[in-house]
Homo-oligomer: A and B are copies of this chain.
Amino acid sequence: MTYQDVSFAALGDPTRRQILLLLRKGPAPVGTIAGRFPVSRPAISQHLKVLKDAHLVVVRPAGTRRLYELDSRGLAALRTFFEQFWTDALQAFKTEVERPTQARRRRTP
């Protein structure tokens, strides 16, 4: 499983996506994050571990608290991957559009 696989798998869950959106406002301790969701704190801990392992968040201890924040490097890497994918996909689309007229005719009802 590649690095991107781990990242996209992490983003595949709605709770984890919401956590990332929440962390855009800045670092937050686990308890605060968990308080924003209708699930248990350990459930949030498990989600945060997935995000950490995917390099989408980083954690630093602050007393008894653990502050989680967005991992800009991990997000940048994912962004690069997505941009590359998008560029390739767009290129493929352009190639398709520029095919001979015959292909176009078939698209006309």
Contacts and interface: CB of A to CB of B under 8 A. Distances in A.
Interface of A: 1, 5, 8-9, 11-14, 17, 20-21, 23-27, 60, 69-70, 72, 75, 79, 82, 85-86, 88-93, 95-96, 107
Given A12-B13, A70-B93, A72-B93, 7 more contacts: A11-B11, A21-B85, A26-B95, A60-B107, A69-B96, A79-B86, A82-B82
Interface SS of chain A: helix, strand, loop or mixed? helix
30 contacts: A1-B14, A5-B14, A5-B17, A8-B12, A8-B17, A9-B12, A9-B14, A11-B12, A12-B12, A12-B13, A20-B85, A21-B85, A23-B92, A24-B85, A24-B88, A25-B92, A26-B92, A26-B96, A27-B96, A60-B107, A69-B96, A70-B93, A72-B89, A72-B90, A72-B93, A75-B86, A75-B89, A79-B82, A79-B86, A82-B82
